[in-house]
Structure 1
Amino acid sequence: MQSVEEIINSTQARISIAVEIDEQRIIEKDSDREYLSASLIKIPIMMEAYRQSELGTICLTDLIEIKDFQKVGGSGVLHSLTGGTQLSIKDLITLMIIVSDNTATNIMIELLGKDNINQFCRDIGAHHTKVERKLMDEQAKAKGYENITTASDMICLLKELDQNEILSKNSTLDILKCLSAQQFRHKLPGLMDQDLMKIANKTGEMEGIEHDVAIIHYGGKKAYIAVLIDQLEQNFLGQVSITKIGESVYEYLLNQ
C-alpha cells in the first residue's frame, strides 16, 4: 500500500490534505489553501440550520413547498419530483447531505441567509469558508461569486460535531446521524471495512475537482480527514487518490 506522501506526490493535480487523529495533526499539506467548495459547503449550511433551530428562528418540522422555479440540475432528486411537493426542513437537510441535493441546498441557503451561514463559519473558526452564491447559479458565477473552503476549515467544522462548543449534543448527534447515512461512499471510505468503522462523510465534486471529508471512529480512536483536489484533467484520477488516502488512514487506525 502506498504511503499518503507517495499518493500525494503521484497525484497529477493540486491537492490539500489534513488528517487529525486523537488531537494530533498527523498529516498536513497546504491545509489553508482555498478551493471551490463544491458540495462540501453543505456541511456548514446544515450546521447553521441546527443553530437556528436551537435559537428558535426555524423549526425543523415545518413544511416547505418545493416550487418548480426553485429546482436546479446537478446532484439530487428534487428536480425530478412533481411540483408542489412539501417536505420538512429536516428532510430537506437530509436530502442535501445524503444525496447532495442541489435544490434542497438552495432552498436552505435562501431560508437561512448567506450572511448567517458565513457568520457561523467565522464563529466556529472556519475563517476561509464562505457562501457567496446558490448552487448551479451561472449568473452569479460569471460575476465572480464562489463558495470557498479549505481542508483545515473542514477539520474545524467536523470537530465541532464532537466538541459541542456552539451546537448542542442533540443537534450534533442528529448531524452525525445524517452524515453517517451518506450514499456516496466511494472516495475516503471506498476501501474501508464499513462494518468495522463508524464513518460519517461528505463528498464534493465539480469538473476537475474532487473532495471528501470524513470522521472515522474505530475502537476508542477518532480520525478527522479532509482531502481537497482541483486542477484534475480527469476526475476519476482524483477519486482514486482520495480512496487510496482513505485506505492508508484506515490501515493506520487498524494497526495502532
Structure 2
Amino acid sequence: MRPPDLAGIFRAASVTGNLHAIDLDTGAEIGIGPDDPVVLSSVFKLPLLVEFYRQAEAGTLDPAEPCRVPTAERTAGGTGLAAMLDDATLSLRDLAYLMIAVSDNAAADVVARRVGLGSVNAMLVAHGLKDTWIEHDCRGLLAALEADAAVLTEPLDPRTVGLLRVLDPACTNRSTAREMTRLLGMVWRDQAAGPEACAAIRRLLGLQVWPHRLSSGFPYDDVVVSGKTGSLPTIRNEVGVVEYPDGGRYAVAVFTRSIGTAQNQPRADAAIGTVARAAVDHLRSL
C-alpha cells in the first residue's frame, strides 16, 4: 500500500511535524523526521513516570508516602493541584496520577523532587535512549519561558517566538519521535520495569482525560488510546499507544509546531489525531 501523505496532513493544519508509529508486535513502522530532535514539553512526564515506578519497584520510595503540598509552594498551572486554592496532602502515586491524567505541573514537580531528574536521565541512558534528556522540571520550564518573554521588546508573535529557549531542543527537555515510541514499547512489553510497574504505568496513561489530540483519530469504544500530551507556545504534542480489539498495538509519537502563536488552534490539535490515524491505518494494511 502506498504510504499516506503525512506531511500534507501537517501542512493542511498550518503546522510542521514529526511522527513515528510502530506496530509493537511486527516492528513495521512509518515516520516523518522520526530522528529529528523535538521539544518534549509535558511529554517529559512520561519518562518521569517510568522512573517513579522503577524506584517504587526497587523499594527506594514508597508510592503511598503522603506528601503535603501547600498552596504557596506549588508550581503554576491550569489543572489539578496547580489550580486549587487550599493546602492538600496526597500520596506520591496519586500525585503521579494527577501529573499524567490532567498534566498537573504542581503534582509533577513534587514527584520530580522525590525521584530526581538525574535518576530519570540515568534510566534513559540505561535504556539506550541517547537522544532523550530531561533538563528542567515544570518550574524550571516556566522560569525559562518567563525570563525570555520578559526581555522581548515586542509581543510574542511568529517573529519573536523563536527566541524562547524552551522551544529549542538544545536548551530544554528533548527527545525524538522514535525514542518516545521505543520507550512506550518497553512499557507495553514489560521491559521498562517489572510487570507490575509497567502495568501501573499503562493504567495511568490510559486515564489521561484529553480527547482532542491523539484520541480524536480513533473515536471508537473498542479502541483504547493511552497517552501523554504536551504543550508550549506553538508546540502541541502527544505520544501514546493505540490498541485495537483484534490485538493490534501501535505506539505513536506526534510532535507539532504551529506557524501562529494563538493558544487555541483546533486544527493543529486535530492534526495529531488525523496523522496518527493515517499512520496506524497504513501499518494495519501491511
Quick check: TM above 0.5?
Answer: yes
Determine which of 204, 226, 236 is the counterpart of 1:178. Answer: 204
CA distance in 2, matches of 1:168, 1:94: 19
CA distance in 2, matches of 1:42, 1:162: 17
Determine which of 98, 103, 118 is the counterpart of 1:95. Answer: 98
Say if 1:35 and 1:230, in contact at 8 Å, map to a contact too: no
Is 1:115 the counterpart of 2:118 in the alignment? yes
| Partner residue in 2 for 1:226 | 253
Cα displacement (A) at 1:237? 3.4
CA distance in 1, matches of 2:222, 2:282: 14
Say if 1:191 and 1:247, in contact at 8 Å, map to a contact too: yes
Deviates more, 1:117-126 or 1:202-211: 117-126
CA distance in 1, matches of 2:129, 2:218: 28
CA distance in 1, matches of 2:62, 2:220: 33
Change (3 A) 1:30 1:116: same
Q: In structure 2, what residue type is equivalent to 1:232?
A: I
CA distance in 2, matches of 1:199, 1:72: 28
Determine which of 126, 144, 147 is the counterpart of 2:173. Answer: 147
Say if 2:216 and 2:270, in contact at 8 Å, map to a contact too: no
Partner secondary structure for residue 24 of structure 1: coil
CA distance in 2, matches of 1:158, 1:166: 8
Say if 1:221 and 1:253, in contact at 8 Å, map to a contact too: no
Deviates more, 1:58-67 or 1:76-85: 76-85
Q: Which runs of 5+ in 2 are unaligned?
A: 149-164, 166-170
Q: Which runs of 5+ in 1 are unaligned?
A: none
Matches within 5 A, 1:153-172: 153-172=179-198
| Partner residue in 1 for 2:267 | 237
Q: In structure 1, what residue type is equivalent to 2:8?
A: E
Cα displacement (A) at 1:72? 2.2
Matches within 5 A, 1:170-209: 170-209=196-235
Query: How many residue pairs end up in the alignment?
Result: 255
Q: Tell me the TM-score normalized by structure 1.
A: 0.90
CA distance in 2, matches of 1:114, 1:24: 31
CA distance in 2, matches of 1:184, 1:208: 18
Partner secondary structure for residue 202 of structure 1: strand
| Partner residue in 2 for 1:81 | 84
Cα displacement (A) at 1:9? 4.6
CA distance in 1, matches of 2:39, 2:258: 11
Say if 1:189 and 1:246, in contact at 8 Å, map to a contact too: no
Say if 1:204 and 1:210, in contact at 8 Å, map to a contact too: yes
Partner secondary structure for residue 34 of structure 2: coil
Say if 2:215 and 2:273, in contact at 8 Å, map to a contact too: yes
Say if 2:30 and 2:279, in contact at 8 Å, map to a contact too: no
Partner secondary structure for residue 17 of structure 1: strand
CA distance in 2, matches of 1:35, 1:250: 21
Determine which of 3, 7, 15 is the counterpart of 2:17. Answer: 15
Q: Tell me the TM-score normalized by structure 2.
A: 0.81
Say if 1:209 and 1:238, in contact at 8 Å, map to a contact too: no
CA distance in 2, matches of 1:250, 1:61: 37
CA distance in 1, matches of 2:238, 2:130: 19
Determine which of 38, 41, 49 is the counterpart of 1:46. Answer: 49
> For the aligned residues, what is the CA RMSD?
2.2
Q: In structure 1, what residue type is equivalent to 2:212?
A: H
